[in-house]
Structure formats: structure tokens, C-alpha cells
Chains A and B, each alone.
Chain A
């Protein structure tokens, strides 16, 4: 069974860069599928941030594209998110997920990132 685990700082200062990593176990990222990041501000709905194919091709939410970078490290079986110039509006629970045709099949437990000085 595929398991995903997010990790990274829980507190980021405004204007700095948020960095998170998603470690994958039970499946080799290099074998295929898309891998994505999704976030959920407190009390609000889900927002897709972006996705990466195992080959490294990336796709980003147009509303965040200028600030987002997603990368993959197949040697460590993990993928990462960087979101630059953060503000309080970026405070959210950040989830990583495996994306199989038409759906997000497996999710991490999520990690809360708070943007505050």
C-alpha cells in the first residue's frame, strides 16, 4: 500500500519561501503516475497547487504558477514543494497525493503551515 508523508517547517515568515517534502513508501515514484500538492486553508476548501510526473514534467495552478516550484528526487523516492513570497493567505494544511488517471488515490496526512512573523 502506498503511503505518503509530508514534512517541513510548520512556521514560515511572510515574504519567505515555504518548503515541504513528501516521502513516498510502498511504491517507486520512478515507476510512473503524477504526484501532486493540494492545500486547504483553515475552515476552507481544497485547492490544487501543482503536480509533477515521474519524469519531471510539472503542471501548476495558474493562480500560483509564478511562485511555485515542484521537483522530484527519485533516488530518495520523494517530491518537494517550494512556494515563494508567502503571505498569511498561504496559511493552510498542505497535502501531497498520488494522482492516478482521473483521481487522487492516496493522500498524506497533511501538514499545517502557518505564515506569521
Chain B
């Protein structure tokens, strides 16, 4: 099965812009979806597809993709954005119906 690789930790100053990346062969075939998870809570979908936000997700969250890398950008990070972020996509190495998650990135807002 495929793997998705994320940096374990990233930090950003309050109000600044941060990019969280996800790399993997599956991303050449499929868009990533991105999830925010705060301690003790279930993950919440924040970005999917080319660059789509579910209802209720602030527009400071955006997504992009190039080659085997997907990125989640937070423009003007807020204290409440401090969380773990996971990327997720279909697994292109198998029957294309399997899913794979990245290892997660812990975002600290300074």
C-alpha cells in the first residue's frame, strides 16, 4: 500500500501564514483531503478536492496540489488553529478503493 508523509511538527506565529505538506505517490492520482483534530476530539474535514471547504470552515484554510505533494495553507493563523492535521487520499497502489492517512502534523501557534 502507499504511504503519505507529513512533517511531524510545524509552528507559526499568530497571524502569519503556514503551509503543511503531504507527500506520496497516490497524490499524483488523487486529491488529498485534510482533517483538523484537537485533543480529545474527532477529526474534522477542513479541505477536500482541488480546494474546497466544507460549510463552516473559515476561508483562511486553503489547499493546493502539485505532483506528488499536497499542501494545506492557513493564511493568518489563529490560536484556535493549533491542532493536529492529517492528510488522506485514496491508495493508488491497490484497488483504488483503499484509503491511506498521513502520519499527521502538529501545528503550534506561537
Say yes or no: is A55 at the interface (Cβ < 8 Å to chain B): no
Identify which of B35, B98, B102, B104 contacts A61 (C-beta below 8 A): B98
On chain A, the residues within 8 Å of B66 by CB distance are none
Are A102 and B30 also in contact (CB < 8 A) when A62-B1, A107-B42, A107-B43 are? yes
CB-based A-B contact count at 8 angstroms:
57
Instruction: Output the least CB separation between A102 and chain B (Å).
Output: 6
Q: How large is the interface on B (under 10, 10 to 19, 20 to 34, 35 or more residues)?
A: 20 to 34
On chain B, the residues within 8 Å of A35 by CB distance are none
A51 and B97 contact, CB distance less than 8 A: yes
A102 and B98 contact, CB distance less than 8 A: no
Query: Which B residues contact A (CB, under 8 angstroms)?
Result: 1, 30-31, 33, 35, 42-45, 48-49, 54, 86, 88-90, 94-95, 97-104
